[in-house]
Structures are given as C-alpha cells and as structure tokens.
Amino acid sequence: CASAVMDSNHAETHNDELVLHRGFTLIRGTHDPDDVDQIKHLEIRDSDVFVATYPKSGTIWLQQILLLVEAKGDVTAIRNPTIVSNADIMPWMESIGTREMFITAPSPRMRVTHLQPQFMPLALSQRGKVIYVARNPKDVLVSYFYFHKMAKMLETPKDFNDFFEKFLRGDLFGCSWFDHIKAWYSVKDEMNMLFFTFEEMIQDLKSVVQRISLFLGKDLTNEEQANVVKHSTFKKMKDIPQANYKQVSEEMFNHQNGMFMRKGTIGDWKNHFTVAQNERFDQVFQKEMKDFPVSFIWDIKDIE
C-alpha cells in the first residue's frame, strides 16, 4: 500500500480515514486492527461461505444471489421489513462486531469481505467455501470514485485525476487492486474456492447462478433457479431496498451524492478516462498482470 497511509502503530497523516495494518489499509472507526487479527483464529464449519472481493466488484450483487439461493428463490426472505439491508444477514467480516457474532451464529454463516487472504481463517484450508469475484479494474476505479463521494467513512475525492492516481498507488481501503486479485488467485487451490468475474455475471447470470448453486451443494429446481436470477438482476435489485442499501442511515451514506447501485455495466470507464489516463493505466496493468491467467472484458460491446 502507499506510504501516504501510516501504520496503525504510528501517527496519522492527511488521510485520517485509513489505517495501514500489516500492509493492508483498514477504515478507522469501521475496522479494529486487533479484531481483524483475530479472524484467522476462527473455527470454521463445512457450511460457512465467504464472498471475497475488492471493493466495488459485485459484493452486494453476490449478497443478493447467495441469500436467494439459500432461500430457494423466495424473495420474501430478503424483503423482510425488519431488515435494513442485506448486510444485516450477510455482513462484512472485517467490520467491528461481526467476528463475535460469527462465533455463535447459526449455520449457514455467510459473510462478505474485502480483506486479503492472509487475514482469513486458517481453517478455510480444511473446510468452508470461498467465492471470489473479480471485476475489470477500470470500471472498479470509476465505481469506487463515486462510492467515495457518498460514503461518509471515506475521504471525499479531490477530483477524478487525484483518485485515479490513488487507485494506481493502492492508497485506498482495500489497497492495490492488482495485489488483491493476485493474492486471492494464488491461494485458490489451497481452499475450496469458486472464482469468476463480474463481467461473466452480466454476460450470463443464469449460468453463474447455476455454478454458485452447484458449488454450495444446493439442489434448486429450474423454477427456483429462475426466481434467483429474476430477483438478482440490476433492475430488480434497484427496487428492493434491502438490496440497494437505500435504507442505510444518512450517517453512513450521503444518498444525495450518489447511489450504492449506480450503473452495473461494463465499460463505463470510457466515459471518464482521458486518452492519457487510459494509456497510463494500460502500462501499469500490463506490468502488474503480465503473467496473470484470467482475461477481462473491458466493454459491453464485446459481449453483445
């Protein structure tokens, strides 16, 4: 991670929202470094499921899909008026308080995380399941830029170019996108992991839902699977307050400044990157990812 963020044992710098802990950035007040260190010691059950992503790579989409797969496509399971958002049922593992609740929670325990694998429970090498979703980093950058504008726990970007440089440096919560995906991909054979991309979900959501159901050992009928797909489309999720996070407190998100679910497409980066920025990004990408075996779709036209 970039040196602009100081280690949790040292003084704060200009970016007061972030804390560098063991080479990874956490959000001050949202994460407790000591608590995050305890995650690796958790006992894991065979039915535990973790969704790991770099921020803005389809996390809340996966929350919706997994909760619906578990409910066999019954949308009333997540339209519960007592539930503010899907994070109430499937919270972020690194958030303060989640670890303690996880210990005594009934099965199946499903959690999401933006952590890198070195912080995850060691017992995942023996039991439990992990789903990793990757998204093309140009679209991640744009989505993360808009998220920073609405998320009150994160620094408001000065401008797009400043944020662009921070993303390339890894000076954000989640650190470097490049390091994140490479770290998780490198351990995919050491745990029971399903790895796919955000773009595959846009291209063929039905196929991805089938893969997830199979991976989780859920025997869904064709009708149940069709219901999961139907209620996991971007259009449907925008109408479900638990899925689109519109009910989450204004103390956390300035809903006037943007939406949790903005576009959910491929290639929006073309509306934001200058030619020079795109050339610079491509140079960094080629250097960082030259031996990486997964290819990305950069434009919606490439799959239409």
* pTM, full prediction: 0.87
> What are the backbone dihedrals phi and psi of residue 53, each rounded to the nearest 5 degrees, phi first?
-150, 155
For the domain 31-302, what is the CATH code? 3.40.50.300
Per-residue pLDDT tens over the stretch 274-294:
999 999 999 999 999 999 999
| pLDDT higher than threshold 70 for residue 251 | no
Residue 178 to residues 7, 100, 157, 214, 258, Cα–Cα distance (Å): 21, 31, 21, 29, 26
For the chain, the straight-line distance linking the first and the last C-alpha, in angstroms and rounded, comes to: 37
pLDDT at 84: 54
Distance CA 25, CA 174 (A): 6
pLDDT at 263: 60
Distance CA 90, CA 21 (A): 24
pLDDT band at 235 (very low <50, low <70, confident <90, very high): confident
Per-residue pLDDT tens over the stretch 5-49:
444 443 333 366 889 999 999 988 889 999 999 999 999 999 999
pLDDT band at 250 (very low <50, low <70, confident <90, very high): very low
| pLDDT higher than threshold 50 for residue 63 | yes
Segment 202-209 shows an average pLDDT of 94
User: How far is C-alpha 181 from the chain's CA centre?
Assistant: 11
Distance CA 271, CA 146 (A): 13
User: How far is C-alpha 228 from the chain's CA centre?
Assistant: 20
| pLDDT higher than threshold 60 for residue 248 | no
Of 173, 181, 135, 185, nearest in space to 1 by CA: 173
> What are the backbone dihedrals phi and psi of residue 287, each rounded to the nearest 5 degrees, phi first?
-70, -45
Known catalytic residue at 114: yes
Catalytic-labelled residue, pool 21, 31, 114, 180: 114
Cβ atoms 294, 197 nearer than 8 A: yes
Average pLDDT taken over every residue of the chain: 85
pLDDT at 154: 66
